[in-house]
Structure 1
Amino acid sequence: MEVEVNEKELKSVGAELLPEGRRGLRILGWEIETLKRPILNSLDVQQWEQKLQTSHLPEMVFGNSCLVLKHINSGTKVHFNAFDALTGWKKEALPPVEVPAAAKWKFRSKPFQQVILDYDYTFTTPYCGSETVEINTQRGRETSEEGSCSLHWEDCEEQIDVVALASKEPILFYDEIILYEDELADNGVSLLTVKVRVMPSSWFLLLRFWLRVDGVLMRLRDTRMHCIFGNGTNPIILRESCWREATFQALSAKGYPSDSAAYSDPSIISQRLPIIMRKTHKLQVSSA
Structure 2
Amino acid sequence: MELEVDETELKAAGAQLLPEGRVGLFIHGWEIESRKRPILNSLHLQQWEHKLQTSHFPEMVFGDSSLVLKHVSSGIKIHFNTFDALTAWKQEALPPVEVPAAAKWKFRSQPFQQLDYDYTFTTPYCGSQTIEINEELARRATSEDNNCGLYWEDCKEQIDLVALASKEPILFYDEVILYEDELADSGVSLLTVKVRVMPNSWFLLLRFWLRVDGVLMRLRATRMRCVFANSATPIILRESCWREATFKALSAKGYPSDSAAYNDPSIISQRLPIIMHKSQKLKIPGRTLNSSLPLLVLFGRTTF
TM-score in terms of structure 1 length: 0.91
Asked which structure has the greater RCO (Cα within 8 Å, sep 6+), the reply is 2
C-alpha RMSD of matched pairs (Å)? 1.8
- Displacement, 1:284? 5.0
Counterpart Cα distance in 2 of 1:275 and 1:222: 11
Matched, 1:182 2:181: yes
Note the alpha carbon deviations across 1:111-159, whole angstroms, 9 max, x for none.
xxxx422100000000000111111126xxxxxxxxxx95233211111
CA distance in 2 between partners of 1:273 and 1:280 (Å): 19
Q: What secondary structure sits across from 1:57 in the alignment?
A: coil
Q: Which residue of 2 aligns with 1:195?
A: 194
Partner secondary structure for residue 124 of structure 1: coil
How many Å apart are 1:104 and its aligned residue? 3.9
Measure the CA separation in 1 of the matches of 2:18 and 2:153: 32
Pick aligned residue for 1:102 from 70, 90, 104 = 104
Residue 63 (structure 1) aligns with: 63
Residue 132 of structure 2 is matched in structure 1 by: 134
> How many equivalent residue pairs?
275
In the alignment, the residues of structure 2 paired with residue 109 and residue 121 of structure 1 have an alpha-carbon distance, to the nearest angstrom, of 8
CA distance in 2, matches of 1:199, 1:211: 30
Q: SS of the counterpart of 1:91?
A: helix
Identity over aligned pairs, percent: 77
Structure 1 position 229 matched with structure 2 position 228: yes
Return the offset for 1:4. 2.3
Matched with 1:142 is none
Q: Using the TM superposition, give the Cα deviation of residue 50 of structure 1 relative to its aligned residue in structure 2, in angstroms.
A: 1.1
| 1:267 match: secondary structure | helix
Under a length normalisation based on structure 2, what TM-score does the superposition of the two structures give? Answer: 0.86
| C-alpha contact 2:150 2:283 (8 A) present in aligned 1 | no
Whether the aligned pair in 1 keeps the contact of 2:16 and 2:26 (CA below 8 Å) is yes
User: Are the equivalent residues in 2 in contact too, given 1:234–1:284 (CA < 8 A)?
Assistant: no
1:83-162 equivalent positions in 2, closer than 5 A:
83-100=83-100, 101-109=103-111, 115-137=113-135, 151-162=150-161
Report Cα offsets for 1:209-250 as digits up to 9, x if no partner.
000000000000000001111115101111100110000000
Query: Quick one: distance in 2 between partners of 1:252 and 1:93?
Result: 28
The DSSP-based 3-state class of the residue aligned with 1:11 is helix
Structure 2 counterparts to residues 16-31 of structure 1, below 5 A: 16-31=16-31
**Contact residue 235 and residue 284 of structure 1 kept, 8 A:** no
CA contact (8 A) 1:28 1:232 kept: no
Q: How far apart are 1:277 and its partner, in Å?
A: 1.3
Kept in 2, the 8 Å contact 1:219–1:245? The answer is yes
Q: Unaligned stretches of 5+ in structure 2? A: 137-147, 285-292, 296-304
Equivalent in the alignment of 2:162: 163
- What displacement does 1:14 show? 1.2
CA distance in 2, matches of 1:125, 1:236: 26
The residue aligned with 1:145 is: none
Q: Distance in 2 between matches of 1:14 and 1:206?
A: 24
Q: Structure 2: how far apart are the matches of 1:49 and 1:116?
A: 19
Tell me, what secondary structure is at the counterpart of 1:185? coil
* Alignment correspondent of 1:146: none
Q: CA deviation at 1:44?
A: 0.8
One-letter code aligned to 1:282:
K
Decide whether the 8 Å contact of 2:217 with 2:246 is kept in 1.
Answer: yes
Higher strand share: 1
| Larger mean Cα displacement after TM superposition, 1-10 or 247-256 | 1-10
Provide runs of 4+ in structure 1 moved above 4 Å.
none
Q: CA–CA distance in 2 between the matches of 1:253 and 1:92? A: 30
- Residue 2 to residue 104, structure 1, CA distance change in 2 (3 Å): closer
Give the drift of 1:184: 0.1
Written as runs of structure 1 = structure 2, the 5 A alignment for 1:251-262 is 251-262=250-261
Cα shift at 1:279: 2.1
